[in-house]
A and B are shown apart, each in its own frame.
Chain A
Amino acid sequence: MVRVLLFGKLRDVAGWREKTCTPDPATLSALKALICADDPALSRALAAPGVQAAVDRVLARDDSPLNEGSEVAFMPAMSGG
């Protein structure tokens, strides 16, 4: 089981902020496929330029492994200041 968080615009697109999932196999790309399975708009939004993911608060790539209890965050292009 992993905890999934969406930030910024991604949350508005998906209509949720947080959920728990059981991806199989346990990689970031498998998790993406799972949360986008019935949501093409989220799938498009995650593929937009500048979108990044963090696993346990470290920036991650599609092949990054997930562990039981991992916290995964999907983040749109960052804009502070």
Chain B
Amino acid sequence: MIRLTDQSFDPGGELNDFCRGRSQAGAVASFLGIARRDGGEGLELEAYPGFTESEIARIAESASERFSLQDVSIIHRVGRITPGEPIVLVLTASAHRREAFEACDYLMDYLKSRAPFWKKEHGPDGEHWIEPTARDLGDVARWD
């Protein structure tokens, strides 16, 4: 399931829902990204409705294939996000733990620099757009 939302969400509830009734998966891994304060008043995330969901679905499909996932769920915030709120939740289910862990890592690397989102930080010195860092680009290149 791919979901973009402009509302805060409950990561624990989402994890419970994802695990419910799952008897074939030996492993569920999760990654939760949280907005850091960094001296600012928060973030604003912009997406391209329709295109962003379809690009994330493409990334999720490649992860499912590469890591033999049984299921994957990605929830990503858009709009204004205050420090401490969740930004992104990635959940993966597989037969064994290694694939579930690695798929979370892969999905986050792709979401950081290859999914259509644009992030503006509202800091003490005003607003500025955040570009992917050299580390983000290096992280995603590991999977090429």
Contacts and interface: CB of A to CB of B under 8 A. Distances in A.
Contact of A78 (B50, B54, B76, B118): B118
Nearest to B127: A12
B87 A78 contact: no
18 contacts: A5-B48, A7-B46, A7-B116, A8-B129, A54-B48, A57-B48, A76-B118, A77-B113, A78-B117, A79-B117, A79-B131, A79-B136, A80-B45, A80-B111, A80-B112, A80-B113, A80-B115, A81-B87
A80 B116 CA distance: 7
A75 interface: yes
Interface in A23-77: 50, 54, 57, 73, 75-77
B108 interface: yes
Interface residues of A, number: 16
A9 B128 CA distance: 9
Contacts, number: 66
Interface residues of B, number: 26
Contacts of B88: 80-81
A73 to B, nearest CB: 6
Contact of B48 (A9, A75, A81): A75
A52 to B, nearest CB: 9
Contact of A9 (B76, B114, B116, B118): B118
Per DSSP, are chain A's interface residues mostly helix, strand or loop, or mixed? loop
Given A77-B131, A79-B119, A7 B113 contact: no
Interface of B: 33, 45-46, 48, 50-51, 54, 76, 87-88, 108, 111-120, 129-132, 136
Given A7-B46, A8-B129, A50-B131, A79 B108 contact: no
A57 B50 contact: yes
